[in-house]
Amino acid sequence: MKRVIAGFLICSAFLQAETLTLQECIDMTLKNHPDVHTFMLTVEQSQKDLASSKSAYRPQVAVHLEYDPLRTYVMPVMGKFSTDDDTLFHSDIVLNQKLWDFKKTSNRIAASRLQKDISRLSLEDVKNQLALRVEQVYDAVLLQESLIALRKKDLETKEALYKQALAMQKQGLRTKADAARFHASVFGAKEALSEAKAAYEKARNSLSFLIGEKLQNDVRFENHLRQIERLKLSSEKKKMLHEALLQNPSLQKMHKEIEKADKLYQASKSERYGSIDATLMASHEESLSNYDTKLVALKAELPLYMGGKLKAQMQKAKIAKAKAQMQYQSLLLKYREQLDALLIDLSHADVSIAAKKESIKAAKAALDVVRARYKEGLVTYLQLLDAITLYESSQVAYIGALARKSDILYQIKSLTGADKL
């Protein structure tokens, strides 16, 4: 039994070509995939947004220069106005410093800092999702390799039976119908093998696109399918997964969105109180006369009526906060439901794999008996083909059960953010 299962789990006993491991594929994907670079730029952009928000608390210095080649000056002289034309050069250097704005700026800075955290979580999320996607495709390649090995063995068996039937037909021990039926089964086996090869090539292409490099024809893959079969989750581990669900990157981002919405709401409330600013200015002017001026001032601004704009902004920010809270609760319920369903499916997958292994064992024993009886002429060729088909379908079903468990594990990791189970 062990030799039978190992026959299609281990696709090549001699890895003469280079072996591409799962971790190498993940590293190459995280290095080359454009989604990673896109979110890295998003993180960098959020850092610049934070720096822009912080600038509101720093001194704002500006220089103003003006030169007029011709300007007419009007001056009263003895009750009459007279004019004089001259040039003008004027320069100002102004420093403005925000002293207090009732935490409006500090809340906006906090919101920008939270947005930077959200961007970082998005980057980590896309890295985790890509790594899991690589693992899923890598497993698909291994499963299709196993299926190809199975289909090749089945084709060899049916070709041998066809040749045997032809030889026995010439000896008068089998009819032409026997040989024709085995011949037809050979074509069916060839079609199944071609289908498995096509699925294998598609899985290889998907992996190639993910890692950003073309796979060599002779590249080998590290087979770890037995780890999928052996992996069992204890009750304690399942409980830990429910707790780990709260660390799901999407939920963490949504939690940060709630905090960000709250900070923006607090900032919008502070808008109605205005701000207090300090201004320092030094000026120099050259025209009809030359002189310097200086200014030191404290300015207070209190918005009295803005057409309802401030109230609308405050209500909008309040609604955004409530909306983010509801979205978080909705997403959490959805993920909990999905996790419970996946854990149920995982338990069923383990039962299914065990059943498929026993089915392979029983089908192999039945095939051995039928094959021996066929040589003695005690059963028909249809009974033999039925036994071969049952054995083959049992092995295919086993590989399918492994594929389903692999997909379930992928979804659990994706939900909980766990690298390993």
pLDDT by residue for the chain (421 residues), tens only, comes to: 444 444 444 443 333 458 899 899 999 999 999 999 999 999 999 999 999 988 888 999 999 999 999 888 888 877 788 888 889 999 999 999 999 988 899 999 999 999 999 999 999 989 988 998 998 899 999 999 999 998 998 888 888 888 887 887 777 766 677 778 878 888 988 999 999 999 999 999 999 999 998 988 888 998 888 888 888 888 888 788 888 888 888 889 999 999 999 999 999 988 888 899 999 999 999 988 899 999 999 998 888 887 888 888 889 888 998 999 999 999 999 999 999 999 999 999 999 999 999 999 999 999 999 888 887 778 877 788 888 888 988 999 999 999 899 889 888 888 887 666 6
User: Coil, strand or helix: which one is 213?
Assistant: coil
Per-residue tokens: 245: 């669900």
Cα 57 from chain centroid (whole Å): 37
212 in the Ramachandran plot: left (φ > 0), alpha (ψ -120 to 50) or beta?
left
Looking at residue 173, its pLDDT comes to 65
- The rounded distance, in Å, linking the Cα atoms of 73 and 62 is 27
User: Coil, strand or helix: which one is 40?
Assistant: helix
* CATH number for the domain formed by residue range(s) 2-416: 1.20.1600.10
92: number of Cβ within 10 Å: 16
Looking at residue 31, the DSSP 8-state letter turns out to be: H
| Contact indicator for 19, 220 with CB cutoff of 8 Å | yes
| Contact indicator for 88, 68 with CB cutoff of 8 Å | yes
